Structure 1
Amino acid sequence: MAKRYGGRFSPGAGDMPQPQGEPVHPLESRVKWITISASPFLLSAFWQDPFGLVTNLAGFGIVALGSVLTREGLQAEAAYDARRVARRPAWPRKLFGGVATGLGLAVGAAEPNAMFGAGLIGFAGAVLHHLSFGADPARDKGMEGIDPFQQDRVARIVDEGEEYLAGMLDAIRRTGDRRLEARVQVFAETAREMFRRVEEDPGDLTAARRYLGVYLMGARDATVKFADLYAQTSDQSAREDYEALLTDLEGNFAARTRSLIEGGRSDFDIEMQVLRDRLAREGVRPRDPTKPALENRRGHDLSDLIRETVKAGRRRD
């Protein structure tokens, strides 16, 4: 089926919903140069002796593997930076990507009588890789006071919700309609706002679990059935019903997310009032904001003492 091209600056796209998309690391576009830098190994491999053929092909393959690991590490770092609460990556992909890049350069440059020089080239490549792309996130972010077991439960449910969203996007692409694809992507971003909220406060999981499971599964099933029907019949009434369903789902997910945030505010107000009550029982009263802050009484009394001493000396004279 032919697909009509369209985008942000295309005619008639002014009222078209624009999805935000996944976070992108600013250095991700540089990764391709890792593989390009190793292309001489591939191009010159077939003009070498058997040892040179094997080392050049192996060097290019290892460097290409390093570029893949580096790209995945940058994507993981972008997702880590985009969240206020996140765990460090399960394993340091950028570190292994740098090691693979250096090893590939060393293997590709290896010669029977120049192993030391090849090792220096590999070491230099690994160091330059680290300087270019940096290190992987080494610690969890915003995890203070969060139960790791509860966080693992949230991670599993969020992964399940992401699978439902991916199923919706895969199904709607079968229609060949870019506007519908963007519409589903906008709903996916709304659902991910709830994902982020639950990740930041796992205590909200009970209130949001039905949305993250049952409702998203129903939305995916409805999208699959609509995509099959619309691809065959292009039924406009079915399309209007499906868009109305997405609108209702967006409103419900956004309202639930707002209620979770307001619930967090209520919890904060309760904790603040409890702390004030405890301070009041200890005899500590809150300061009146209309009155100035406490002065340095010690300095004020010392100035008065000096002033009185000078006056007494003058009277004796």
Structure 2
Amino acid sequence: MAERFGGRFSPGSGPLPGAPVTRAPAPAKPPRHRLEGRPFWLVLCGAPLLFTGFGDGPAQLATDLAAFAAIALSAWMTREGLRAEAAYDARRTARRPAIPRKALGAGLLALGVGLAAYPPENGLVGTVILAALAAALNLLAFGLDPTRNKGMEGIDPFQQDRVARVIDEAERHLAAMKDAITRTNDRRLLARVDMFAATARELFHAVETDPRDLTAARRYLGVYLMGARDATAKFADHWAATRDASARSDYEALLSDLEANFTARTQSLIDGGRDDLEVEIEVLRDRLAREGVVAREIVDQTGK
């Protein structure tokens, strides 16, 4: 899609005269696994199967086409497993993937290689060996799926599920904001929305770390983001029709106010967690003192 050029001297793109020049941070990118593009080579390796079955009868043709389909599906499943692993690694707390996609990809690759190597001269044992080697090499190249939950020790699973649902909804609001502001074809506005999204995700991370903070942050994750989404959609439509500089200034001021509020709420949650920790330490010190135990490590950490 063509994108309108927006440089320093383009109308509506540069800062206003006399305004301080600030450098916008790079837009936040979704997590990406370093091996995500490599499963595509499996499809290329299996591509000859699309042609080898012609001239050998319908049974061989069907077998070769089924083998290619299994290999292609294996590549897709493996790539989805790598994406799920990247999302798992990017979050402070995360559940293990419900579906072991990389393991399924290895199984599908074994099936595809087995079908491709099934001619009678290879024998059943040879076919099984080749299929097992293909599955093993797939797992060796791309690794196993995450097998355990991360950062969820001592956290109520029901509460964690509530947090996950709320944050998923909040991410959809941010995605809708990005889609709406993209219609303006203005790089400065795109970067501005990315800055706000990065600030909002700091609050997401704080709530993920301690799901008990969900009640205090729920209005920010729901009502405020929904309002920001709707305001962005209305501004994008208005800007496309009028190029109203006053409306642009008001919208940027709204994002600044939202950023300030989200930052303050995030810091409040962090400070609240620190206060709770200090209370727990004090209670533990008193209990150890009553038991006649000197908690040297705790004294060193608190400085008391």
- Aligning the two structures, in what range does the TM-score lie when normalised by the shorter sequence? 0.7 to 0.9
Q: Does 1:175 pair with 2:196?
A: no
State which drifts further: 24-33 or 88-97.
Answer: 24-33
> Which residue in 1 is equivalent to 2:18?
none
1:206 Cα deviation (Å)? 0.8
After the TM superposition, which residues 77-96 of structure 1 pair with which residues of structure 2 at under 5 Å, given as runs?
A: 77-96=85-104
Distance 1:273 1:143 in 2: 25
Distance 1:215 1:27 in 2: 37
1:103 counterpart (103, 107, 111): 111
Q: Does 1:279 pair with 2:272?
A: no
Q: Does 1:62 pair with 2:73?
A: no
Amino acid at match of 2:157: P
Whether the aligned pair in 2 keeps the contact of 1:17 and 1:186 (CA below 8 Å) is yes
Q: Does 1:214 pair with 2:213?
A: no
Task: State how many pairs are aligned.
Answer: 286
Amino acid at match of 2:237: D
Q: SS of 1:29's equivalent?
A: coil
Q: Does 1:244 pair with 2:244?
A: no
> Which residue in 2 is equivalent to 1:224?
233
Amino acid at match of 2:36: E
> Which residue in 1 is equivalent to 2:205?
196
Whether the aligned pair in 1 keeps the contact of 2:6 and 2:186 (CA below 8 Å) is no
Q: Against the structure 1 CA distance between its residues 134 and 252, is the aligned structure 2 distance closer, same or farther, given a 3 Å change threshold?
A: same
1:213 Cα deviation (Å)? 0.5
Distance 2:60 2:22 in 1: 57
Distance 1:125 1:203 in 2: 46
TM-score (norm 1): 0.82
Q: Who wins on radius of gyration, i.e. which is larger? A: 1
Distance 1:48 1:266 in 2: 75
2:58 counterpart (7, 26, 50): 50
> Which residue in 2 is equivalent to 1:160?
169
> Which residue in 2 is equivalent to 1:40?
48
Distance 2:234 2:77 in 1: 37
Distance 1:255 1:113 in 2: 71
Q: Against the structure 1 CA distance between its residues 205 and 58, is the aligned structure 2 distance closer, same or farther, given a 3 Å change threshold?
A: same
Distance 1:109 1:271 in 2: 64
> Which residue in 1 is equivalent to 2:11?
none
Task: Provide, for residues 244-267 of structure 1, a one-character-per-residue CA deviation record: whole Å limited to 9, x for no partner.
Answer: 222221221122111111111000
Q: SS of 1:137's equivalent?
A: coil
1:115 Cα deviation (Å)? 5.7
State which drifts further: 15-24 or 210-219.
Answer: 15-24
Structure 1 residue ranges without an equivalent (≥5): 291-317
Structure 2 residue ranges without an equivalent (≥5): 8-13, 15-20
State which drifts further: 165-174 or 90-99.
Answer: 165-174
After the TM superposition, which residues 292-311 of structure 1 pair with which residues of structure 2 at under 5 Å, given as runs?
A: none
TM-score (norm 2): 0.85
Whether the aligned pair in 2 keeps the contact of 1:23 and 1:78 (CA below 8 Å) is yes
1:38 Cα deviation (Å)? 1.4
Task: Provide, for residues 152-173 of structure 1, a one-character-per-residue CA deviation record: whole Å limited to 9, x for no partner.
Answer: 1111111111111111112122
Q: Against the structure 1 CA distance between its residues 16 and 280, is the aligned structure 2 distance closer, same or farther, given a 3 Å change threshold?
A: closer
Q: Against the structure 1 CA distance between its residues 44 and 5, is the aligned structure 2 distance closer, same or farther, given a 3 Å change threshold?
A: farther
> Which residue in 2 is equivalent to 1:27?
35
Whether the aligned pair in 1 keeps the contact of 2:92 and 2:208 (CA below 8 Å) is no
State which drifts further: 184-193 or 256-265.
Answer: 184-193
Q: SS of 2:146's equivalent?
A: coil
1:109 Cα deviation (Å)? 3.6
Task: Provide, for residues 70-91 of structure 1, a one-character-per-residue CA deviation record: whole Å limited to 9, x for no partner.
Answer: 1111111112122232111111
Distance 2:184 2:119 in 1: 55
Distance 2:102 2:210 in 1: 29
